[in-house]
């Protein structure tokens, strides 16, 4: 019974985290293209309809241009991991050999951005999902047919990704730790100051104990991509071998959450960034020094990620 409920909970969490990225970002954007054929403007490819027949009136269409292109501008840069393209029903071969590029550049109409995928071919009227598992950052999604005169017609372009990661989420949270040394409470590690010198009063500090830990609670679960840690200036070795764990569990003070990174060492007074490209979902960021008696002191912990909604 116990095992079943844990299993169901995990299944529920899986379902929730998967569904939060199923929003088609393209709908929020604006599209443009190299030229216009009839009334089939660029926004027809982001009208929310996959209808693949020309008479359905839901496909974009350029003139017969040399290397025709279509471009979507999202409201802001996202980490894009999937682009789904629905091809025309009547003339599917026109899209053969086109490419998708994603980035923040408008140079060359967007053609200078890094390549996301090559469209070898898409069967008539079908939708194909092109994916880059770690994602690519960009505001612009550029699609172009290379090396020939062609009509570029797209019946739907859907874009899936995460919002950008620039805000230090830790500042919204509350911290706690296994014990207290002096006045160096856990929240000193999220006070917005990287000052690494003990005398500046901006570092957290536990007592000397077995398995000391520090934990941040964010207001809600986020997909965390990056954790930056600033080490003490005077005693940098204390942090050697500490681990960062992220998840939604408070079991064992958070030590049972999946491991995000191991801190081999951070030079005195410096800030190191630990990253997981696909991100890890969690409300709690746990930092612990396993299996030794130690003081745990942290001068700043910064957390970057995206909300799950």
Site for ligand NAG in 64-83 (CB under 6 A): none
Site for ligand NAG in 81-110 (CB under 6 A): 93, 96
Q: Work out how close the CB of 128 gets to ligand NAG at its nearest, in angstroms, rounded to a whole number.
A: 12
Q: Work out how close the CB of 60 gets to ligand NAG at its nearest, in angstroms, rounded to a whole number.
A: 19
Q: Which of 193, 177, 299 is nearest to 238 (CA)?
A: 299
Q: Work out how close the CB of 87 gets to ligand NAG at its nearest, in angstroms, rounded to a whole number.
A: 10
CA atoms of 135 and 162, how far apart (whole Å): 9
CA 165 to mean position of chain CA atoms: 7
Query: Cβ contacts of residue 261 below 8 Å, gap of 6+?
Result: 227, 243, 244, 274, 275, 276
Nearer of residues 122 and 136 to ligand NAG, judged by Cβ = 122
CA atoms of 44 and 102, how far apart (whole Å): 20
Query: Cβ contacts of residue 304 below 8 Å, gap of 6+?
Result: 165, 166, 167, 168, 169, 224, 225, 226, 227, 228
Q: Work out how close the CB of 42 gets to ligand NAG at its nearest, in angstroms, rounded to a whole number.
A: 23
Nearer of residues 77 and 87 to ligand NAG, judged by Cβ = 87
Nearer of residues 11 and 124 to ligand NAG, judged by Cβ = 124
Residues in the interface with ligand NAG (CB under 6 A) total 3
Site for ligand NAG in 119-178 (CB under 6 A): 121
CA atoms of 78 and 80, how far apart (whole Å): 6
Give the number of other Cβ atoms within 10 Å of residue 60's Cβ: 25
Q: Rounded to 5 degrees, what angle do the CA atoms 136, 138, 140 make?
A: 125
Nearer of residues 48 and 93 to ligand NAG, judged by Cβ = 93
In DSSP terms, 263 is beta-bridged to 242
Q: Work out how close the CB of 83 gets to ligand NAG at its nearest, in angstroms, rounded to a whole number.
A: 19
Residue nearest to ligand NAG (CB): 93
Nearer of residues 148 and 174 to ligand NAG, judged by Cβ = 148
Residue 32 sits in the site that holds ligand NAG (CB under 6 A): no
17 three-state secondary structure? helix
List residues binding ligand NAG (CB under 6 A): 93, 96, 121
């Amino acid at each position: 019974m116990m095992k079943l409920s844990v299993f169901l909970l995990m299944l529920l969490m899986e379902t929730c985290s998967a569904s939060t990225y199923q929003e088609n970002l393209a709908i929020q954007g604006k599209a443009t293209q190299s030229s216009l054929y009839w009334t089939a403007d660029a926004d027809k490819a982001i009208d929310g309809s996959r209808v693949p027949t020309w008479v359905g009136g839901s496909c974009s269409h350029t003139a017969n241009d040399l290397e025709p292109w279509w471009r979507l501008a999202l409201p802001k840069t996202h980490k894009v991991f999937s682009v789904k393209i629905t091809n025309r029903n009547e003339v599917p071969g026109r899209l053969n050999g086109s490419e998708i590029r994603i980035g923040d550049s408008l140079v060359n109409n967007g053609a200078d951005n890094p390549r996301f995928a090559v469209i070898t071919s898409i069967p008539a009227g079908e939708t194909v999902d092109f994916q880059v598992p770690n994602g690519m950052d960009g505001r612009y999604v550029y699609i172009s047919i290379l090396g020939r005169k062609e009509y570029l017609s797209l019946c739907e372009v859907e874009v899936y990704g995460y919002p950008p990661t620039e805000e230090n989420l830790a500042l919204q949270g509350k911290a706690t730790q296994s014990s207290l040394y002096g006045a160096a409470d856990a929240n000193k590690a999220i006070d917005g100051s990287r000052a690494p010198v003990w005398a500046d009063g901006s570092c957290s500090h536990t007592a000397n104990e077995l398995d000391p830990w520090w934990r941040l609670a964010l207001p809600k679960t986020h997909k965390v991509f990056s954790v930056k840690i600033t080490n003490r200036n005077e005693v940098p070795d204390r942090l050697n071998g500490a681990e960062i764990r992220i998840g939604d569990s408070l079991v064992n003070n958070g030590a049972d959450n999946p491991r995000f990174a191991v801190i081999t060492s951070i030079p005195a007074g410096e800030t190191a960034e630990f990253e997981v490209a696909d991100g890890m979902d969690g409300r709690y960021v746990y930092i612990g020094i396993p299996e030794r008696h130690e003081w745990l002191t942290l001068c700043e912990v910064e957390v970057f990620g995206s909300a799950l909604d």
